[in-house]
Structure 1
Amino acid sequence: MAPFGTLYTIPGRVHPRTRKIFAAATLNGLELQVPSDFEPGETNKTPEFLNKFPLGKVPAFETPEGFKLVESSAIASYIAGQGSKRDQLLGATAEDRARNEQWILFNELHLETTAYTLAAWRMEIEEFDAKKEKAAAKDLVRWLDYYESHLAGRQWFINADGAGPSLADLTIGGTLFALYFVYVDAEMRPQYANILAFFERLKQTTGLMELYTGPMVDKRKACPN
């Protein structure tokens, strides 16, 4: 069976923004080809790549028919709508589709940006900024409290119990993966039992164990004095 499309991203590694894409493809039974010779910062600056994707942004996606997309959420949404799990992933009604988009956008605008601030200096991507760290730590508690409350008495963010994860769940799970890896440590995790149970449930979904399994930080890196 030929690949459904080509995803231009780091080969052999799942980037935080591609996790939901691979997860949606897995649930829909779609194969994505990742070029083994793709080198971020080089391949995406070549004339050939820029002719297809003028800003050189990655991840980028292309079908055999020549349909092209950038922006990870747009790619994930397109792939989610292409298989047998479409209604589960995107919603079977207008209301469910709207709720799905609401959670994806909220996560992208709030939890994901906060997670990046808290993770960037700890992973030596950016310099430490005490003001940003303090604000992000406060925001994180606010967002996690919101998620924890929403998940009380339910398995998924949108779908009914037993219905399986939506694209919103896959998206949120990807952000939680990063937070558990760098910031939400062993002391903090029990404060958000509903979120942790959700994350473990997501991992147990057929086909998703490998994508959502990773080390969880025991004690997060302390701020420099």
Structure 2
Amino acid sequence: MAPFATLYTSRALKHAKSLKILAVANFNNLEIAVDETFDMFTTPKTPEYLAKFPMGKYPVMETADGFCLAETAAMAFFVAESGPKREQLLGVDVKQRALIQQWISLADSEVFANCLPLVLQLFGALPKDEKVRMEKETAMVRAMRRIEGHLKGVRKEGKRWFVDGEEPSLADLSVAASLFWGFMFYIDEEMRKDYPETIKWYRTLLEVEEVKKTFGEPEMVQVRPESVKL
């Protein structure tokens, strides 16, 4: 039987934003194949790829019936909506669905968007620029404080996840994916001391079987390096 969809994404380093899509697929018991021939430097420039995905970006996804999607929030939503755990992942009523979308948006626009340039500077993919680094770190920290404050409230109510429910939603998966590279390369032990509830939540989430299959064990840098060689 053909996989539900094929994901085109980097393989040498787990692409942080692919993780939530694959975890959602695990919850819904849907098989998503990761294309083994994809090369992030050459494949997105080919005419065949651009015919399906005109922006030449990745990750992107093509379903078994030829339906093509770009933008990871849209892909995660599509996979979440396509299986039996849709209400767990997307919410049971309009308010819960809106709250989940709120956290997805914050994860993408405030956490990942500011974390990515910090990590790319470490990789050497962007030039070192202290002014940019401080601006991006300040913006990321502001979002992380918002997350920490929310999780403190969640913990006081005796709950574990971002939105009411016994199981993680797409809000949890999206926030975790947005922090994945940050924890791995930039947000070191000293910096993490300011976010105890976030760290506890992240470790708890990565113990969930469907999440662990994709994210793996938590990888957290102890001391931020000057550079990272991939």
Fold shared per TM-score above 0.5? yes
Structure 1: 5+ residue stretches without partners: none
Distance 1:108 1:123 in 2: 20
Secondary structure, aligned partner of 1:165: coil
Please give the residue correspondences for 1:14-93 in structure 2 after superposition, counting only pairs within 5 Å. 14-93=14-93
Please give the residue correspondences for 1:152-191 in structure 2 after superposition, counting only pairs within 5 Å. 152=152, 153=155, 154-160=159-165, 163-191=166-194
Please give the TM-score of this superposition, normalised by the length of structure 2: 0.89
Q: CA offsets, 1:33-72, max 9 Å, x none?
A: 2221122232222222222222222212111222111111
How many residues are treated as equivalent by the alignment? 221
Q: CA offsets, 1:95-141, max 9 Å, x none?
A: 11111111111111111111112211112111111111112222232
Q: Give the AA of the match of 2:32.
A: L
Q: 1:124 to 1:31 in 2, by over 3 A?
A: same
Distance 1:131 1:117 in 2: 12
The match for 1:3 is 3
Distance 1:180 1:86 in 2: 28
Name which of 202, 205, 210 aligns with 1:207. Answer: 210
Distance 1:21 1:10 in 2: 14
Contact 1:24 1:80 in 2 (8 A): yes
Distance 1:177 1:11 in 2: 15
Q: Give the AA of the match of 1:199.
A: Y
User: How much does 1:222 deviate?
Assistant: 5.3
User: 1:221 and 2:225 equivalent?
Assistant: yes
Distance 1:53 1:134 in 2: 34
Higher helix share: 2
Q: Give the AA of the match of 1:194.
A: E
Contact 2:2 2:64 in 1 (8 A): no
Q: RMSD over aligned Cα, in angstroms?
A: 1.7
Contact 1:176 1:199 in 2 (8 A): no
Q: Give the AA of the match of 1:217.
A: V
Q: CA offsets, 1:164-204, max 9 Å, x none?
A: 11111101101222111112111222321110011011111
Distance 1:5 1:222 in 2: 38
Secondary structure, aligned partner of 1:187: helix
Contact 2:203 2:218 in 1 (8 A): no
Q: 1:25 to 1:219 in 2, by over 3 A?
A: same
Distance 1:73 1:32 in 2: 16
The match for 1:140 is 140
Larger mean CA deviation between 143-152 and 53-62 belongs to: 53-62
User: How much does 1:87 deviate?
Assistant: 0.4
Larger mean CA deviation between 30-39 and 193-202 belongs to: 30-39
Q: 1:11 to 1:139 in 2, by over 3 A?
A: closer
Distance 2:141 2:5 in 1: 38
User: How much does 1:10 deviate?
Assistant: 2.4
Secondary structure, aligned partner of 2:122: coil
